[in-house]
Chain A
Amino acid sequence: MSMVQESGCRPIQPNNARIEEHPCYSEGASHRYARMHLPVAPACNMQCRYCNRKFDCSNESRPGVVSGVLNPDQAVKRAWEARQRLPHLRVIGFAGPGDPLANRERVFATCKPLRSSFPDWHLCLSTNGLCLPESVNAILDHGIRHVTITLNALDPEVGAAIYSWIFWNKKRRRGVEAAHILLEQQLAGLSALLARGVLVKINSVLIPGVNDRQIPEINRLVSEAGVFSHNVMPLISAPEHGTYYGVMGIPGPNETQLQQVREQCGGAAKLMTHCRQCRADAVGLLEQDRQAELNRSPVEGSRVIPIHRPTRRDPVASPPSPVVLAVASQSGERVDTHFGHAEFFRIYRVTGAQIEHLGERFVPRYCQGDDQCEDKDHTLQSVLNLLNDCQGVICARIGFVPWQELLERGIEPVNSHADRPVVEALSHTARLLQDKHTIPTPKVAAAGMKGRG
């Protein structure tokens, strides 16, 4: 690894600290060090088919929950507040809601003060790679030493099926031409970063039937190139996300499909399995969310959104204890209802494989289709009171305010089963909640995982 030392640039840190303190790069660190994403980058220069631009960049975040965008001043303020409450904060990430490199000025304007105030923090960013080659110098100049590139295809034909368009050289370009330009930029950016000692992680979104075969090839290529880790993430797709794949009914992979592809990724790039698909404004330890405290942040427009939980099973599972779950489902068959639209919740007790229906609880409607519902706090509180004895609430979608409030009360909001069968959502969620505090061992765990589909 070459030493890079530019003028005005802090010397590169020993790699060990860079890896060991970064929760996304080291599974150990994910239990000890906290990270925060600052949503300062609203614009994007392309369109991925798994992304609905009305929400956050799906490359680093779960689609479907709206978040606020901060300007650089607000972001810096927010970081100061976070530091007071999170002594373990080590990592600041720039991941969206658009592409950080389509918003270079905003991102770098945030980096500058942070770097001088907190020299021991790690700054990282995630990008689609389109503007990467011309940004490499600036990335290094601003002290960013961790970069994540989303790479979903090496074959432009496949890329053309994943990306609707890119904005390139004054024009919107589509199809194979667009995919080809994007790939060239991604690979050129990748090697430039590696040559200069930046720790690179690759994200790939597994889209069943589209890029299954590309991902092992990506793994091989990036491993040979010297990429530190490769994160194969499942496509998250539901009609209400409004993404192309969601609307067109192209589902994400089930656990088996995901595992099969991950198993074909045998390259040296460490396969990251502890990824929680954080949102662009996530904060806290990967394992332990702190949004409850931090969401009281006085910075205008700042919001703190929790992190997706692990979905893996501990291989030495303890005997199952009962889990009480509420489900927002009109039909009773599928998870078909928005938290805020639910007129009642179905309550279940899940003990291992056994599911008991305990009845319904009727709640006042506090939300009339608006996701944010911030003014209707009182009604929301009465809904939450009804669910106080539940460990989790399964719904098709949920606004971020109720999401935060639920977590604050120790109730896990679960929206990853939108439109899936209730029974499946129940057993999956019960398992997830039981495993919440166990340290996962991915390989063995995966074998015990039941497919979703």
Chain B
Amino acid sequence: MIALIITAECIACWACEPICPNAAIRVKNEVFRIDKKSCTRCEGYGDLPQCVEICPVEGAIIDDEGTAMNPPGSLTGIPPREPLPA
């Protein structure tokens, strides 16, 4: 599994860090990143990447292709600013 990535959208809320089953979330000076070697996308631990499940910020965690794991509108219910193509 290719590791997930934390973006600049991260608000440093610390929610993900304690629940990562692989201690893959590293924090330095309040900057959060995912250690490539440790992250397994939570394989074998629940169905879903835990950091993605708890992160409150849309777009703060992306996959290696740059796709937001929590896309705009999915967490807040606020419709994204640019309407998505139908």
The chain A residues found within 8 Å of chain B, CB to CB, are 42-45, 47, 49, 53-54, 98, 102-103, 105, 164-165, 167, 170-172, 244, 247-248
Contacts and interface: CB of A to CB of B under 8 A. Distances in A.
A52 to B, nearest CB: 8
**In the complex, which of the residues A47, A164, A170, A248 has the most CB atoms of chain B within 10 Å of its own CB atom?**
A170
Nearest to B57: A53
B15 A164 contact: no
B54 A248 contact: no
Interface in B27-86: 45-48, 50, 53-54, 56-57, 75-78
Contact of B77 (A49, A54, A172): A49
Interface residues of B, number: 19
6 contacts: A47-B56, A53-B13, A54-B11, A98-B14, A172-B54, A244-B77
Contacts of A102: 15
A47 B15 contact: no
B8 interface: no
Contacts of A165: 75
Interface of B: 11-15, 18, 45-48, 50, 53-54, 56-57, 75-78
A98 B54 CA distance: 13
Given A44-B15, A45-B15, A171-B53, 7 more contacts: A42-B12, A53-B56, A167-B54, A170-B46, A170-B50, A172-B48, A247-B76
A49 B53 CA distance: 17
Given A53-B57, A171-B46, A43 B15 contact: yes
A42 B14 contact: yes
B76 A164 contact: yes
B78 A44 contact: no
Contacts of A47: 56, 75-76
Contact of A248 (B11, B14, B47, B78): B78
Nearest to A173: B53
Most chain A CB atoms below 10 A, which of B12, B53, B54 = B54
Contact of A171 (B18, B48, B56, B76): B48
A42 B30 CA distance: 12
B11 A244 contact: no
A74 to B, nearest CB: 13
Contacts of B18: 43, 105
Contacts of B12: 42
B50 to A, nearest CB: 6
Given A53-B56, A170-B46, A171-B47, A164 B14 contact: no
Nearest to B15: A43
